[in-house]
Structure 1
Amino acid sequence: MSVDTVRNRVFDNDRFQATSVVVVDYDMPGLNGLEFCRRITDPAVRKIMLTGKANEHIAVESFNEGIIHRFIRKQDASAISALNRAVRDMQNAYFDNRCQSILDTLVTSEYTFLRDEALVARVREIFDSLGIVEHYLSYSPNGLLMLDSTGKSYLLIVHTNETLRGVREIASVQGAPAGFFDALDSGASLPYFWQTSGYCPADGIAWESYMHPAIRFTGQQLYAYAVIPNPPGFDLSHVLSYDRYLEWLDRDIQKTWSSLM
């Protein structure tokens, strides 16, 4: 799978409908939660079962057998918060499973930062601070295209010393002015030449407007990264946001319930 294919997933309006976590009650009419979980054949889907006190031993056995991944006791006072936390953890586990083959391919390229646990932790902090709910690989420059629940976009550019040397060499060939190299070498800003596939254009363009504040970070190696709100070069005006998807889902559920009454 190419990076372009991964990034273009953002334009798929059905992307939110993939099932990552299933929450079932053990005590359901017709088919109990355990049998329901047995019939889920996708090994990547994570399963959480709600259980009453009388069925705790069944939940423990099911967990030990790998039929379910977590169980929540309905009678616990903290059941709701425990469920929310479990869903979040299981979603992360689902996406880690789905992304494994992609990561194994990309870590030998300019995307080695995807395997750096320290940098990954910093990126998660960025997600939390900006309310990011979805992200996609990007390239030229390398990094992540991120969106919050309203559809507001951000571009996270990540450079290593090696990739910065590449930027510098191309800029030198293109005849970039001395001021550009001073800004690049200072480590205080990074370029985003969105009109020229990430490369410094020739003939001394007004490069200052393409520079963005950068932060240095030390993980397994040295990095420089920049977060660009509403990055130009991405036609995201028709992208379905997560909030809009939830609104559509609520209307669809209400319509279904109305037809059953």
Structure 2
Amino acid sequence: MNFPPNYLVDPFADPQKAADFFHQYLKEQETQEKTLHYLTHIEDVDIEADFKPHTAVDMTIFPVHEIVYNPRRFKTISVLVVDRSMPRIDGLDFCRTFQTSSAQKLLMTATPMQKEAIQAFNEGVIHHFIEKNELSFFDDLNEAIHCLQQDYFNSLTQSAMDHLNTRPHRCFKDAKFIELFYALIEKQAFVEYYLIDYSGSYLLFTKEGEPALLAVKSEEDMQNDYQLAEDNGAAKTVIQALKTREKLLFLFSPKDYARSE
């Protein structure tokens, strides 16, 4: 099968080896626990408790640093793609074995078995199914995997995102931002992305490990940065660039934030 370059795939021809591999994985879900801890850290940040509600130092880098330098993060399994017709085991029985797992189950099935696939979907045994004889099979498969990856991530992060969305200037549910974000992911073939501040900035990585930063600030944040630079005697070129929104202001630590009152 041909998968997009930003998909990390571990194929198995033997269903028993696949089952053994996934059983072992479920015993070692260290990466998922660390990811949830990192998201909880962002959720617990009380921006309003700080006397500076909008600063140039608002990123959560150190918890992310621990994750991105942990090679075990690539072992996190978000989607199981299972063929209904496998040697020695029925695909639905395979999915039932791991029904309580948070990994999304995608079943590839033949048209005569569609009724059983629908029933399995309604029972929560699988999350999606695709008919193998469709001409658009490969396109449908890749699209379904993409959607299920997002469903998996959303299921893990929903409580944190609900909390973040209650704060002002959030872009997480902005349709234009979401469209731009996923267009960027596809164009640059990013395989990882991490939320690093409360306003919606992300640290992204390609398959080769090349990092990139998507910096997101509200108009109010931008005006605050401009005022900060002006109040502290920054160079005129810096002040002008901030005023025209050509550059962003980032400071290394809160110690560097010394806005004049």
State if a TM-score over 0.5 links the two structures: yes
Matched, 1:165 2:223: yes
Higher relative contact order (CA 8 A, sep 6+): 2
The Cα offsets for residues 99-151 of structure 1, whole Å up to 9 and x where unpaired, read as: 21221222344771223222121122222222211111224996111111111
Aligned to 2:41: 2
Letter in 1 for 2:149: Q
- Shift in alpha-carbon separation, 1:131–1:41, aligned structure 2, 3 A: same
**Displacement of 1:165:** 3.1
The Cα offsets for residues 152-208 of structure 1, whole Å up to 9 and x where unpaired, read as: 111111110221233234334433233322221112222344x45695789xxxxxx
CA contact (8 A) 2:223 2:243 kept: no
More displaced 10-residue stretch of structure 1: 17-26 or 78-87: 78-87
Matched, 1:55 2:116: no
Distance 1:142 1:50 in 2: 36
- Shift in alpha-carbon separation, 1:150–1:7, aligned structure 2, 3 A: same
Aligned length: 201
Report matched runs for 1:68-87 at 5 Å. Answer: 68-87=126-145
Letter in 2 for 1:62: A
CA contact (8 A) 2:104 2:152 kept: yes
- Shift in alpha-carbon separation, 1:149–1:111, aligned structure 2, 3 A: farther
Aligned to 1:25: 83
CA contact (8 A) 1:10 1:136 kept: no
CA contact (8 A) 2:110 2:131 kept: yes
**Displacement of 1:79:** 2.3
Report matched runs for 1:168-207 at 5 Å. Answer: 168-193=226-251, 195-196=252-253
Letter in 1 for 2:183: E
- Shift in alpha-carbon separation, 1:80–1:61, aligned structure 2, 3 A: same
Matched, 1:99 2:157: yes
Aligned to 1:127: 185
CA contact (8 A) 1:176 1:200 kept: no
- Shift in alpha-carbon separation, 1:171–1:9, aligned structure 2, 3 A: same
CA contact (8 A) 1:145 1:155 kept: yes
Distance 2:88 2:239 in 1: 70
**Displacement of 1:68:** 1.3
Aligned to 1:138: 196
Aligned to 1:224: none
Aligned to 1:37: 95
- Shift in alpha-carbon separation, 1:119–1:87, aligned structure 2, 3 A: same
CA contact (8 A) 2:170 2:199 kept: no
Root mean square deviation of aligned Cα: 2.8
The Cα offsets for residues 75-114 of structure 1, whole Å up to 9 and x where unpaired, read as: 3333233222211221122112222122122234477122
Bigger strand share: 1
- SS of 2:129's partner is strand
Identity, in percent, stands at 28
CA contact (8 A) 2:204 2:212 kept: yes
Distance 1:125 1:187 in 2: 23
Matched, 1:88 2:127: no
CA contact (8 A) 1:110 1:163 kept: no
